[in-house]
Structure 1
Amino acid sequence: MQARSLPIPLHLSPYIKSALWLKRNAQESFSFKILPRFHPAFIFSLENTLNITNQFAGIELIFQPCNIYFGGEGILPSLFTIPAKMDVILVLLYPQATGVFWQEDAVHFFNRAGNISYNGQSFRILNERIQEARTIEEKWQHIHLFLTNKLLKKIPYNFSYVQRAINLIRRTSGVISIEALARESCTSQRNLLDSFRQYVGASPKQLASMVRFNSLVKDYILNPKVLDKKIAQYSYYDASHLYKDFTRYLAITPQDFISQVNDINKVI
């Protein structure tokens, strides 16, 4: 798989974590379980993408060429297949960007994904422009201009609570109590919960749990031998506690996870 980073304009950096052009150039496809999705994502399938059916949060999602897909955060296991011929632009958002982009409660998008190519005239026009553009640079320019118009709106006061809380969750790898999270974010636990529902879709506890698990698994992918040493660092009681999260988030054992091809999990 080839992964090429695309430049993110400074004004979009509070909302977009990364933008990648992913091009699979191997001769064989591979299937893998994807980690819990605490970054909502846009997937822009380009002309060379093969039709492929994936299991996303318990439903079948068909990826076809020349379409736009959106997936919110989620904890349900998802099984993806990357065919030999895959050509997409993947835009990973920060968790709080879901509610900002859609201007409605992000909880509606939690554990959901779908084809949004025909969700209104603006998406249809964007999709046409992407496919007509000759280079990746031109395609990306159309995309980030579209996202600029959607994301740079007047943000209500409670958005700052969510941003502070998410930054704390990331800095602590999810190992932080909800009481401390609310206190450090300068708001009440109730207000933080309501704000997360509006902008993120997951509760602060759910997001912290996903970040904690993903942080440990990132270390595990890089070096499986460190697993036992890392359990306590990430506030897991013991190996059985961690195994429960593997079953919950991936529906496979740690050994099965590490034996699969983790190219995408390494990238995102």
Structure 2
Amino acid sequence: MTETALVHQFNNGIKVYEKHLTDAQKARYQKHNLHEPLEEEIFLKIINSIPEGGCYLNIGAAIGYYALLAKQQSPSLDIHAFEPLETHRNYFRENILLNTFSEGDFHIYAEGISSSSSSQDFVESSYGSKIALGFNSTRSLTARTKLGLRRLAKRLLISLKLRKKEKTVKINTTTIDAFSEHLGKPVDLCQMDIQGLEIEALTGASQAMESGKVKVFIIGTHGLFCHQKVIEILSSFDYSIEFEDFTPSDQPDGIVVARKR
């Protein structure tokens, strides 16, 4: 990265290189110079309530915005960030140095979070990158039935089209349950933005949700069905829905915030 590279600084002081941003993002920041104003307000209240030395899990970390903001607000926080897109992991590392942190301040993982620990197709499409699910999904038959055959067939068709249009690579996946077991301590906040795979990720988090190893979730939802299903799943594991909005202003994703009772 050259010294003359252009830098975008948000109102909260976080800096990223402009080359990391899309034109749509830059246009949005002209209106409100925060990545997601409403979600960030909620995020900061939760982060600042976590005791010293607490744990933050960032799933779909992208270029590191929320992980950097968490470290800015709470330097002692133990931060674990999952980002399977190599380009974004590299951008994240550039932004760590730009914000005068050390890469050792963060645990960055190349795996994707899914319903099982396996190898899966991953469609590389900038901020729209996602695990490509088809009929080989590990989701249970009951869950598939709830989706409906027409919905599942449509998803498969979209997945096949994406694979033709975008670069697809194999990535390793793990689950929230497996990560939680390996971590060996509670996760104070799990924030997730994984482009419509929220249900898949929660399918692999049943033990962590049942035991309360994840205390609070902030989940970006993609589509009304997904939004409603996320609320249903979290409620079934005795999480209190503290906030939910399917169409919040000034950000592209829905929001569900849930806390273990």
Instruction: Tell me, yes or no, whether TM beats 0.5.
Output: no
Which one has a bigger Cα radius of gyration? 1
**TM-score normalized by the length of structure 2:** 0.31
Structure number having the greater helix percentage: 1
Which fold has the larger relative contact order, with Cα–Cα distance below 8 Å and residues 6 or more apart in sequence? 1
